[in-house]
Copies of this chain bind each other. A is one copy, B any other.
Amino acid sequence: MKGSRRYWPHAAALLTLMTVAAWTIRALGSGVTAPPAAQSTRPAQGVMPQYDKSGALLLPEDYRRWIMVGASLGLSYAEGPASHEMFAHTLMEPTAYRYFVETGTFREGTMFALLLQGTGDKVLPARRGQFANEVHGVEMAVKDSSHVPEGWAYYGFAGTGAAVRSTAPAEPKNSCFTCHAEHAARDHVFLQFYPLLTDAAAAGAKGH
C-alpha cells in the first residue's frame, strides 16, 4: 500500500522537532519524562486524508491502530429480520481524536474507519458468547470540505470476498450522507453510539 499518512510538511516538521527537543531537554532536567503531547494539538499538524488522482480516498496504512471509539454487534439501520450479523468497530484517527477531545468539534480532515468483522464462538475457554473474527470489510467517513462541498463523505473499501481495496471513491450522497445528516448527534457523526468519545471529550473539557 502506498504511503497514505502524510503530515503537513516542512514548517510542521520543524515545529515538531523543536517541540520534541524542548520536551527532551525538560526530561533530561527532571529525570521523569512525559510523552510529547503538544505535537497533535494544532489542527495544522493533524493527519489529513489522501486521495489518488481520480479523487478516490487512500485507505490509511495504520487505520487498525487508530483509537477505538465505538463498537456494536448486528447493528442495522434497516427493519426486518437479521441477516449476517457482524461486529463493527469505529476507529478514529488519533490527531483528530485529540482535537475533538480538546474542542468538542470535528476538524477538517477528521477520519473515522469502520472495521467490520464476522463472529466466532465456541472456542475454548469461551463457552458462551461471540467474539470478533475475520475482517469482512472497511468503510470510512471523512470530513473534508475541500474535497466534497457537503463536508462529509463516505467510502467503502470492500473488495472481492474478504479482500480490502486500498482506494475507494466517495459513495453517492444519498447512500450514507442523508442519514448521517438527519440522525447524527453531532456534525454528521453518530456520537450517540460512541460513549467512549463523549466521555473522553467531557474529561478533556475539565482539563484532564
Q: Which residues of A does B touch, CB under 8 Å?
A: 1, 3, 5-7, 9-10, 13-14, 16-17, 20-21, 24, 27-28, 31-35, 62, 64-65, 67-68, 70-79, 82, 85, 87, 89, 91, 94, 97, 117, 120, 123-135, 179, 182-183, 190, 192-193, 195-196, 199-200, 208
User: What is the oligomeric copy number?
Assistant: 2
Tell me the smallest distance from the CB of A45 to a CB of chain B, in Å. Answer: 11
Q: Which residues of B contact A71 (CB under 8 A)?
A: 71, 87, 89, 117, 131-132
Please tell me if the beta carbons of A128 and B76 are within 8 angstroms of each other in the complex: yes
Minimum CB–CB distance from A20 to chain B (whole Å) comes to 5
A193 with B76, Cβ < 8 A, contacts A9-B33, A89-B71, A131-B71 known: no
Contact A10/B34 with A72-B130, A128-B74, A133-B195 known, Cβ cut-off 8 Å: no
Option from B28, B79, B127 in Cβ contact (under 8 Å) with A79: B127
Instruction: Assess whether A65 is in contact with B78, with CB atoms less than 8 Å apart.
Output: no
Bound-complex Cα distance A197 to B128 (A): 22
**Can you sample 10 A-B contacts with CB below 8 Å?**
A6-B33, A13-B27, A65-B94, A75-B129, A75-B131, A82-B128, A85-B129, A123-B193, A125-B190, A132-B195
- Say whether A183 contacts B32, CB under 8 Å: no
